[in-house]
Structure 1
């Protein structure tokens, strides 16, 4: 059998988790598609896929093999593409995961501006806020502010985001407006579980602040924290980008504006590949350029 084709078939099935869909896409019969996968498993001497009548999933060996194989196949595709006139132009679907708070008009403008320059790239965006497995789930890119890197992933800093403590005016009328950071100790907090699930805010080293608030709502979904703050439930630490319109229109107030709250970096997380597909590389460069985050994080 054509081993290179078998490797490509295996990678497609592993990422799509569907033999029939891959067979139709590649113009193969389902039986031949299965034979190609079995050919790869026979070569490596390990079971790479678990499959039954309903589900297809990677084994541990399969996930490890796919992580090594995918950049090699991408590199080969790029080498072949360089022989064509438009081979280096970004194209295809960019599958991306990003925080809920980035679902706003400013980031929509970034996506629109990029797409206008690269009309052959489409987006598939996950806003669930869950921890993803980039290799097994076929994600090209994840945008994160707080992220612990798994093995085989690398991070690229794209922009710095300033955070601020905010609360609704009605809530502050009732609770009182803090005059010092200590006034926030044991105060009701809407806590982002990825950073401060226990309500503790610590930054600035030995001479910085170490505050312990009282979480009354904990979530990995920034949107519910934001809306609860506007509704007057408690204090929330939100990115300036997300809170600025509510502050401007009086729905939220900045608490202790003289305090320099933490600045965190938006990072691009992607699989450690020696070659990045043109669609990923061009989008990363766009985000880091003058029309990307710089244009909206002012």
Structure 2
């Protein structure tokens, strides 16, 4: 009986490792193929797409960088950083008010904020375009900043609020007795205690803003305000596309977010487990 159980345990571990290895191949091979394709020529890519490059040259990466990727990268960094700061700050302040301040109809306010999770961006595109055109914000950096912040605040507030609910209120009461105001208590006491969930929400928003395509495509049309997901499409020509250059641009766009994910995945899991798990 014992030997049978040990044999079944070995079989289960073998299948588990086989599944994990297969999953890793499915996830990592497309990334590896994209990187290798950036070193090829069009003839090599279409002649034998799965072969190794003949000449390991960075010419395609230089062409992609000089072909506009550097500008798109700068815009993406600017939009991502500013929208991350705005979203996390507004959400943390809102979560603090919902959990630490006695306000009328607090449950209704909470329901309205969380109701934003149900609003699909595609439903609001037409009225948003009209509104931004009337306000003179269409095709501008401010359009993306406002949209990225507004559509992520409900989700980020939900996560931070779930974490703040179980924080000890005695700390806030002690701060009030020492003469600290709401802002001081929030900035110097509550916010540092929320470091795990703040880190998670920062990383999640960066992943969202860096890869967002719909808003960036609809609300920007000039090369000076286009982000990487939209800007990379300009590398493709109707009369003949140099696909290795396009793949090189995609690699440049993917490297920052891939590195960020691998470096920050531990914090994402920990923050979400501490927050939603409560």
- Into which bin does the TM-score normalised by the smaller protein fall? under 0.3
Give the TM-score taking structure 2 as reference length.
0.21
Higher relative contact order (CA 8 A, sep 6+): 2
Give the TM-score taking structure 1 as reference length.
0.20
Q: Which protein is richer in helix relative to its size?
A: 2
